[in-house]
């Protein structure tokens, strides 16, 4: 009898455990379904928000210029003359480039004195672009605001990120966009699909770093191409999206470069950080664009800047010291940096550049 009672207790305990396990499974399954439904709703809502962003961008662009809309390309005719000039370069490098942006926010003024080009990509955990743009605008005097364009290139294949950045910039810099001081563009419709096939390891860099530095060069190529083809500035100032400009930086830059004949220099440096703070005159900007087109995959941007001058001034018989002296005369350095690097989170944290 006692043994029978133990068996009954064990059976009852088993039934209770089975019921509890089943109940727990059902609850967890419902939670998973609820979470999935939430993610789906979130995705749908985000798509609706992004469509609203695009519609808002189109409305703003029509206010600025009734003949344009954000979703329209720059017409091919505006690029045809420039692309014909670059046809020789195209024949030397069969990578398929397309510099027409997928989205445009605002319209820059034609033939400004200076265009500042700011490429920006997604970084994990932090975004420095807003601070950079704020400092660039704050450092312009009232007299210079009419002579300077700021072109922001959101160089990201993630369309959601591009549209969210455009929405944020539209909210923070509506008046500057409307005035034509600031324009924001998205990536080209057709990214060069084969760009990674040209990469190779060199200088002890990992594949992740080679991918990152090459993408940086492509972004600058797209940005510079667009600036030359659309607003054709007298000077082009390369910038990065994680620097802060000194007060009055543009006045210092112009005082320096305009005191020297353009034929005496190829670019001037106002920062020791990578490609930030490097200014070209109209002719040298076109020449450096050709350099980027040919060698974007070979070296980092700041190395290509040095080589850009080297090939023009150094002879085979020159020693390295003589060559460096010649380069320094053409790649001039300002006596003090005008831009401070603030980025702690590198753009290499972008998932695009993770090791595979």
Structural domain boundaries in the chain = 73-353
Helix axis angle, 207-230 relative to 76-85, nearest 10°?
110
Residue 149 pLDDT greater than 90, yes or no: yes
- How is residue 286 written in tokens? 């076109």
As a whole number of angstroms, the distance between CA 180 and CA 110 comes to 10
- Digit-coded pLDDT (tens) for 105-130: 998 888 999 999 999 998 876 788 99
Show the tokens assigned to 351. 């998932």
How much is the pTM?
Answer: 0.75
pLDDT at 238: 97
For the chain, what percentages of helix, strand and coil (3-state, to nearest 5) are there?
A: 55, 10, 35
The pLDDT of residue 196 is above 90: no
Length of the chain: 356
Strands 182-185 and 104-105: antiparallel
Residue 320, Cβ density class (10 Å: 0-12 exposed, 13-18 middle, ≥19 buried): exposed
Q: In whole angstroms, how far apart are CA 40 and each of 52, 144, 229?
A: 18, 48, 41
Q: Residue 347 pLDDT more than 90?
A: no
Max CA distance (Å), the chain: 112
Local structure of residue 267 (DSSP, 8 states)? E
Helix (H) / strand (E) containing 120: strand 114-120
CATH of 73-353, one of 1.10.510.10, 2.60.120.10, 3.90.550.10, 3.40.50.1400: 3.90.550.10
Q: Mind listing the pLDDT tens digit for each residue in 286-312?
A: 999 999 999 999 999 999 999 999 999
Q: Which of 55-59, 125-129, 160-164, 198-202 has the lowest mean pLDDT?
A: 55-59
Q: pLDDT band for position 273 (50/70/90)?
A: confident
Chain-wide mean pLDDT for the chain? 79
Q: Are 130 and 182 in contact (CB under 8 A)?
A: no
Residue 32 pLDDT? 52
């Amino acid at each position: 009898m006692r043994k029978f009672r133990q068996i009954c207790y064990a059976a009852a305990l088993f039934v209770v455990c089975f019921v509890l396990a089943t109940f727990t499974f059902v609850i967890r399954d419902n939670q998973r379904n609820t979470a999935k439904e939430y993610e789906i709703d979130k995705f749908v809502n985000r798509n609706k928000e992004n469509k609203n962003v695009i519609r808002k961008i189109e409305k703003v662009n029509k206010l600025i210029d009734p003949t344009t809309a954000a979703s329209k390309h720059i017409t091919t005719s505006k690029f045809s003359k420039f692309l014909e000039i670059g046809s020789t370069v195209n024949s030397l490098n069969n990578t398929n480039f397309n510099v027409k942006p997928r989205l445009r926010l605002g319209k820059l003024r034609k033939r400004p004195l200076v265009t500042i080009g700011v490429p920006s990509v997604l970084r994990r955990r932090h975004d420095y672009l807003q601070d950079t743009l704020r400092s660039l605008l704050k450092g312009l005097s009232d007299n210079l605001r009419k002579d300077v364009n700021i072109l922001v290139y959101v160089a990201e294949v993630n369309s959601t990120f591009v549209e969210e950045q455009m929405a944020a910039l539209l909210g923070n810099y509506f008046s500057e966009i409307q005035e034509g001081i600031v324009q924001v563009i998205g990536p080209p419709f057709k990214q060069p699909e084969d760009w990674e096939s040209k990469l190779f390891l060199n200088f002890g860099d990992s594949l992740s770093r080679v991918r990152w530095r090459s993408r940086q060069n492509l972004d600058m190529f797209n940005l510079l191409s667009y600036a030359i083809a659309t607003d054709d500035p007298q000077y082009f100032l390369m910038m990065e999206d994680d620097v802060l400009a000194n007060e009055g930086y543009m006045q210092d830059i112009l005082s320096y470069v305009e005191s020297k004949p353009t034929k005496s220099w190829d670019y001037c440096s106002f920062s020791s950080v990578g490609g930030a703070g490097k200014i070209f005159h109209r002719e040298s900007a076109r020449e450096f664009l050709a350099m980027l087109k040919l060698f974007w995959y070979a070296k980092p941007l700041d190395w290509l800047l040095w080589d850009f001058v080297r090939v023009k001034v150094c002879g085979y018989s020159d020693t390295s010291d003589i060559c460096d002296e010649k380069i320094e005369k053409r790649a001039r350095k300002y006596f003090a940096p005008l831009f401070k690097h603030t980025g702690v989170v590198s753009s290499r944290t972008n998932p695009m550049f993770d090791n595979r």
